[in-house]
Structure 1
Amino acid sequence: MQPVTAPFPASRPRRLRRTGAIRDLVRETRLATGDLIWPLFVRDGEGIEEPVASLPGVSRLSIDRLVDAAATARDLGIPAICLFPYTDPALKTETCEEAWNPDNLSNRAIRAIKKAVPEIAVMTDIALDPYNANGHDGIVRDGVIVNDETVEALVRMALAQAEAGADILGPSDMMDGRIGAMRAALEEAGHNDISILSYSAKFASGFYGPFRDAVGASGALKGDKSTYQIDPANADEAMRMIARDLAEGADMVMVKPGMPYLDICRRAKDRFGAPTFAYQVSGEYAMIEGAARQGWIDGDKVMMESLLAFKRAGCDGILTYFAPRAARMLAETRQ
């Protein structure tokens, strides 16, 4: 694009900012409720809404309350929710076999939601950290996160979630070769219509802390995840990982975290043209919500500005804990 503008005063850019109606006419980027995926935390029990201290306004929900949240999402026009389990520590082992138990917490939640609210798309998380006594996304052997054995476990996990009725699988583990292995297994099992939204560019970030609290992985984690998540300094490597996952059969790709990596979102969309998502992760949410509750920022304005930034950077959708609040504000704007 090569803009052509007349010299001042023939050109006065402020003419197009003069009124709300004119600004609306020339707005380049728009955020819609259909762009949102709502991450939700599920735990065992009944009638439970357990606040997460480091995520103000976010709670772990028992399955009955989770079904209510899914119905709320549907009523607000949010097209998808994403489930993350808070697993009983007694079920966590070094071999992570609870991850592919057909009756584990996540799979029971999927079935309950699809029975009660079939219209909502259910996305799942595929990684071993909620089930791992070591807190890692992969199986640990002699202090090393082993790749190929982990991929075998993740394939079992993916098949169990597909059988439970998941619509979208979200591999967040960052193991090499896992997308191709999952896609082949899904095809062989007859699950050829299940989508994979791969966490293709997941960085070894410090922004995940509150999430690990929410799923109960913080205390268990030994070491860090830098041997399998991407170095925050490496943009070209992120492009290679996205290309690899698309070549192996991913339908959609994700950049995580979100706002610190808007450049990655833009490059990914421009280069590959695939459906591209960002996860506005727990640390991003907590900073905005925490500052808003202190009165330091206008929380609603900053929330909407942050979500619009993802769209401006080329994202087709956003995973955000703000989803229901943003949906209500967007509905009010339309009225």
Structure 2
Amino acid sequence: MLSVGNISGGSFSNLQVMYSTPSFNMASQVTGCTITGQISVISPNGYTVKPVISGITATSSATFLDVSALPESDWAGIFTAASDQHKTVTLSINPLRTMALQNVRAGRFDKINLKFDPNGGSGNMADGFAYKYGSSGLPNNTFTKSGATFTGWSTKKYGAPAYTNGAIVSGTNLGNVGETTTLYAIWSDTPENEPSANEAPGNESGQKKSDKAEPQNNEQAQNSKDTPPETGLKPGEETADKSGTKVKASSDGKTVTVTGAKNKKTVKIGKAVTIGDTKYPVTALGKKAVTGKKVKNVTIDAKNLTSVDKNAFSGAKNLKKVTIKGVKKGSKIAKKIEKAARKANKNVKIIYK
């Protein structure tokens, strides 16, 4: 940890830089360094003189860069152009979670305002925002509704939820810069469709609401049968399932890529993930889909996989065993999984079931 002083050049796995107090009459200066792991900035109580950090190169192995203690205006000047090879960076900056380094360097910190609506529930939640050119974490719901369970957030008042509680969402899916997007709480008793005028509360037309639904003719029934249900994921949307596995929706919103499993001893990636009430086939393992020092055993159901990033296991240096299900040994996708796993640890044991 560097408290006060200067560092120029050099390569560091982890570097922690601290604010200083006015009594020191100087600030830490860090420039021209290469970070292969983590750089973080801390600001203890009473420490008000911020450090000067610039010209930092974050290599492809750098996974976590916490600069939340510094004002947003300083973020853009931290990284060099060489850092752009590391396409995205994980940040501990509420609500920002990930952002392409080229956007950080360009200062693209434009925001979308968020308003939260209880949608028939009760309680209050403060307005928030999301970064347009990054992925932001949605807050956990604090609204309540008697007799109903919260199932997620949506930009529509009715239908299935689009985002799970605390989901990580790409700003491109939330609206336009400077505008306000309302996220409605979706409950277990939320109607799938907007009620008709006769069904809506406060109908004063005098028309009696029928207790029986009008029968459908053959054409209506056939159209209803042929119409596919609306997907809960938007194209390119980033979120996570209940187990914490991070995924990104495909361009048509029908399948997903695993972008980050939890860093724990045993990791399981199924042939599909459940978001809301919908199952989405897992068709790809993205870069660092499985990463972290804790990971030792991984089981993958590869039945629906069509793509595996060569760095899918990057950072999982302690990986010992990978169990592959759903495909035969020697198949194209099996070879890709083996190659990616052995890139992380050449001594990894591969088992087929």
TM-score tier after normalising by the smaller chain length: 0.3 to 0.5
- TM normalised by structure 1 equals 0.33
Higher helix share: 1
Higher strand share: 2
- TM normalised by structure 2 equals 0.32
Report which of the two structures shows the higher radius of gyration computed on alpha carbons. Answer: 2
